[in-house]
């Protein structure tokens, strides 16, 4: 701030501004003397005013601010002429004043009204956007209703016919939305002695064009903006952004996602924003998912008056991006809502869903699976609760079921029908040892081969990282074609990452558990709690993990993939042993033993495992 004050008081800067304004006013007077005498007279009056301010004030810009409403008058009148040459000159002059922070709040309001009239006249659309963003980014004189009007102006320009204006307006809106929330963060750092006002939930539920009284000014603007973004995405009328004539759901979802991802601190600190998250965002997301939940690919049309709406890729993809953010950044605020979202992800893996939708869900699950503390939260919040959905178990089982379904019902039929080159072993049971073909060598492309179905491993992702493909297709309208093997490849990495997360939670300390000194009693209680959590982790995941990994091990034709699968199975066997969980331990050891033998090699002792009581056998062990 001090440096900014220094710039304001810099003699060279003030001299340059004064000379620039004087020259602009002379030019404006000359251009308007024939047709627009009112503009000419106003320009000449302000020239005299500038000389007076310069003579009376040591700091020219400081003296300019109180008089700025009068100083901008000739430029506002010039814009009202709608003469292209005069309008360009006036906008350039106004931008000079704005960039030197020589604008008062009332002058800023007048400038926004001027820009609005030019927008309605379809004049200088790009310069309007430049002026609007300069006005709002330079300082915070534009607030409340004027801020709303400036935002609406940019939204209106986003829905013009010119592609350059559309793209520039989109970038401007995204920047302005960020600025509105940046102001909240800056406002938080300023200490005030204002008394706190209690939040009124009834007022928040109803929606309003005025902010909650419990919020500071900048937080109030951000609240109203986010409230109206939710309204617009839900196809409802905004309360604060008055004058909106058009809005696309895809653009609205992108703006919501950007705010939720970047400003989680605002939503977690302010109960008003937390309330809006629970009461507006989550119900909106669930509502918009309705077509995706009801639609069944290949199902006969239902004899109902309203046909089932097909899921729309741009909407589904953006909703899943938001779900990923809500689970990752707001889990502790939205435990119940996240249970619904996670159940939706599992539901999206059902065979009757379009393959592109299943792949999107897999990419989100992959993002979640690399976070051990998030996995722990799922188990503690859901799987360990007696009457709750066993979310972690369902995730693991659904991944295994997806992989199995791809071998039973490959997306394009047999690989030969999809135009993919098939190894010579296609159609005959290959001789495999530890998942690798004997005699013919490893197939040139990493792949999985099982009962005549060949599925390539088409991606390679380093441990602990994710590389979503479909979730990044923000420019696509139609669902993309799913490459053979993509779904199985993502599911494969999901399983490996979940195995790694379980290993970290059972065998390795997280930063959370290391921090802080604990008494002996606290340490004992923590140990008991951790033991219950670890056992629940294994209990929820071992069946689905064993079935999926065993199938992939049988099918693997790639040395690196086989090594990863064996390592995951070995790790599970190891920490099951550490926890004295003998049933899953023996099951994984048995699977490792079977994997070391040639296929179809019958060994009675491995086929009947007396250590596993019949009632505890996993229903997924009897695979395809």
Predicted confidence (pLDDT) per residue in 541-591, tens digit: 999 999 999 999 999 999 999 999 999 999 999 999 999 999 999 999 999
pLDDT, position 176: 98
Q: Report the range out of 34-38, 600-604, 605-609 with the highest average pLDDT.
A: 34-38
How far apart CA 245 and CA 230 sit, in angstroms, is: 16
Mean pLDDT along residues 511-539:
65
Chain centre to alpha carbon of residue 316: 12
SS (H, E, C) 518-582: CCHHHHHHHHHHHHHHHHHHHHHHHHHHHHHHHHHHHHECCHHHHHHHHHHHHHHHHHHHHCCCH
pLDDT value at 415 more than 50: no
Q: pLDDT by residue (tens digit) across 50-84?
A: 999 999 888 889 999 999 999 999 999 999 999 99
Q: What contacts 147, CB < 8 A, 6 or more positions away?
A: 136, 180, 221
pLDDT, position 305: 54
pLDDT, position 439: 37
How far apart CA 105 and CA 583 sit, in angstroms, is: 73
- Contact at 8 Å (CB) between 337 and 282? yes
DSSP assigned state of 411? B
pLDDT value at 249 more than 70: yes
In angstroms, how far apart are the furthest CA atoms of the chain?
106
Structure tokens at 558: 């790639």
Mean pLDDT along residues 513-535:
61
Mean pLDDT along residues 431-437:
44
C-alpha to C-alpha distances, 573 to 568, 580, 590, 595, nearest whole angstrom: 9, 10, 10, 14
pLDDT value at 451 more than 50: yes
Mean pLDDT along residues 213-219:
93
pLDDT value at 135 more than 60: yes
pLDDT value at 464 more than 70: yes
Closest CA to 558 of 465, 464, 490, 460: 460
Residue percentage of the chain with pLDDT more than 90: 71
How far apart CA 123 and CA 78 sit, in angstroms, is: 13
pLDDT, position 309: 73
Nearest 5 degrees, angle CA 243-CA 258-CA 215? 65
The residue among 199 and 140 whose pLDDT is bigger is 140
Mean pLDDT along residues 595-613:
60
Across 268-277, 528-537, 604-613, least confident range: 604-613
Across 43-57, 246-260, 597-611, least confident range: 597-611
Structure tokens at 366: 């992959």
Q: pLDDT by residue (tens digit) across 318-373?
A: 999 999 999 999 999 999 999 999 999 999 999 999 999 999 999 999 999 999 99
pLDDT, position 33: 85
pLDDT-derived band at 15 (thresholds 50, 70, 90) equals confident
Mean pLDDT along residues 37-55:
94
pLDDT value at 151 more than 50: yes
SS (H, E, C) 483-521: CCCHHHHHHHHHHHHHHHHHHHHHHCCCHHHHCCCCCHH
Q: What contacts 21, CB < 8 A, 6 or more positions away?
A: 50, 71, 93, 96, 97
pTM: 0.86
- Contact at 8 Å (CB) between 212 and 223? yes
Identify the three-state secondary structure at position 283.
helix
C-alpha to C-alpha distances, 572 to 319, 421, 480, 561, nearest whole angstrom: 34, 35, 36, 17
Closest CA to 495 of 404, 432, 434: 404
pLDDT-derived band at 443 (thresholds 50, 70, 90) equals low
Mean pLDDT along residues 420-442:
40
Q: What contacts 438, CB < 8 A, 6 or more positions away?
A: 430, 431, 432, 598
Handedness of CA 271, 273, 277, 279 (dihedral sign): positive
Chain centre to alpha carbon of residue 102: 38
Mean pLDDT rounded to a whole number for the chain: 86
C-alpha to C-alpha distances, 300 to 138, 290, 313, 356, nearest whole angstrom: 59, 19, 21, 20
Q: pLDDT by residue (tens digit) across 77-124?
A: 999 999 999 999 999 999 999 999 999 999 999 999 999 999 999 999
pLDDT, position 613: 46
**Secondary structure percentages of the chain, helix, strand, coil, to 5:** 65, 0, 35
- Contact at 8 Å (CB) between 559 and 437? no
Closest CA to 256 of 271, 234, 289: 234
- Contact at 8 Å (CB) between 17 and 57? no
Residue percentage of the chain with pLDDT more than 70: 82
pLDDT, position 615: 43
Structure tokens at 381: 């919040």
pLDDT, position 21: 95
pLDDT, position 429: 37
Pseudo-torsion of CA 196, 201, 203, 208, nearest 10°? 90
pLDDT, position 199: 79
DSSP assigned state of 478? S
pLDDT-derived band at 438 (thresholds 50, 70, 90) equals very low
The residue among 529 and 222 whose pLDDT is bigger is 222
Which long-range contacts (C-beta less than 8 Å, at least 24 apart) are formed by 297-300? Answer: 297/352, 297/353, 297/354, 298/352, 299/352
- Contact at 8 Å (CB) between 319 and 384? no
How far apart CA 74 and CA 76 sit, in angstroms, is: 5
How far apart CA 454 and CA 423 sit, in angstroms, is: 8
pLDDT-derived band at 4 (thresholds 50, 70, 90) equals very low
């Amino acid at each position: 701030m001090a440096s900014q004050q220094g710039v304001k008081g810099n003699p060279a800067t003030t001299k340059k501004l004064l000379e620039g304004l004087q020259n602009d006013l002379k030019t404006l007077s000359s251009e308007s003397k024939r047709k627009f005498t009112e503009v000419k007279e106003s320009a000449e009056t302000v020239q005299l005013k500038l000389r007076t301010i310069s003579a009376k004030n040591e700091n020219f810009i400081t003296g300019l601010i109180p008089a700025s409403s009068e100083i901008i008058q000739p430029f506002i009148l010039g814009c009202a002429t709608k003469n292209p040459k005069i309008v360009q000159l006036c906008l350039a002059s106004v931008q000079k004043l704005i960039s030197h922070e020589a604008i008062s709040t009332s002058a800023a309001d007048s400038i926004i009204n001027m820009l609005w009239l030019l927008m309605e006249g379809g004049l200088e659309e790009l310069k309007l956007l430049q002026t609007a963003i300069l006005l709002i980014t330079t300082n915070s004189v534009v607030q409340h209703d004027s801020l709303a009007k400036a935002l609406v102006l940019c939204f209106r320009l986003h829905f013009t016919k010119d592609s350059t204006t559309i793209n520039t307006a989109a970038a401007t809106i995204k920047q302005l939305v960020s600025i509105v929330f940046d102001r909240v963060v800056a406002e938080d750092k300023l200490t005030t002695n204002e008394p706190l006002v209690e939040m009124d939930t009834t007022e928040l539920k109803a929606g309003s064009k005025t902010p909650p009284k419990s919020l500071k000014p900048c937080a109030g603007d951000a609240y109203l903006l986010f409230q109206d973004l939710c309204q617009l995405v839900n196809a409802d009328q905004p309360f604060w952004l008055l004058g909106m004539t058009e809005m696309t759901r895809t653009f609205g979802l992108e703006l919501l996602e950007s705010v939720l991802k970047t400003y989680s601190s605002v939503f977690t600190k302010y109960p008003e924003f937390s309330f809006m998250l629970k009461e507006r965002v989550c119900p909106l997301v669930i509502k918009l998912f309705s077509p995706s939940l009801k639609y069944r690919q290949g199902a006969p049309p239902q004899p109902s008056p309203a046909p089932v709406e097909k899921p729309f890729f741009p909407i589904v993809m953006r909703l899943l991006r938001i779900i990923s953010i809500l689970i990752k950044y707001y889990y502790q605020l939205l435990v119940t809502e996240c249970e619904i979202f996670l159940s939706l992800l599992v539901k999206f893996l059902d065979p009757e869903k379009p393959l592109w939708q299943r792949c999107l869900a897999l990419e989100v699950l992959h993002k979640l699976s690399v976070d051990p503390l998030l996995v722990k939260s799922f188990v503690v919040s859901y799987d360990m609760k007696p009457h709750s959905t066993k979310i972690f178990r369902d995730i693991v089982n659904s991944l295994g079921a997806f992989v199995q379904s791809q071998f039973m019902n490959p997306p394009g039929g047999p690989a030969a029908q999809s135009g993919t080159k098939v190894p010579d072993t296609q159609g005959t049971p290959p001789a495999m040892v530890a998942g690798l073909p004997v005699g013919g060598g490893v197939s040139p492309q990493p792949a999985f081969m099982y009962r005549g179905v060949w599925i390539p491993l088409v991606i390679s992702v380093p441990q602990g990282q994710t590389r979503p493909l479909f979730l990044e297709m923000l420019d696509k309208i139609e669902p993309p074609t799913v490459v053979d093997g993509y779904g199985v490849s993502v599911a494969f990495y999901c399983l490996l990452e979940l195995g790694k997360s379980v290993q970290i939670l059972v065998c390795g300390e997280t930063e959370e558990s290391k921090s802080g000194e604990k008494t002996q009693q606290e340490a004992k209680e923590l140990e008991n709690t951790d033991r219950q959590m670890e056992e629940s982790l294994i209990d929820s995941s071992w069946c689905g993990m064993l079935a999926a990994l065993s199938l992939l091990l049988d099918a693997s034709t790639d040395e690196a993939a086989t090594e990863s699968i064996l390592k995951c199975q070995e790790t599970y066997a190891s920490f099951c042993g550490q926890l004295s969980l003998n049933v899953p331990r023996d099951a994984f050891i048995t699977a490792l033993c079977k994997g070391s033998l040639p296929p179809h090699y019958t060994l009675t002792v491995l086929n009947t495992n007396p250590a596993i009581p019949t009632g505890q056998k996993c229903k997924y062990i009897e695979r395809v």
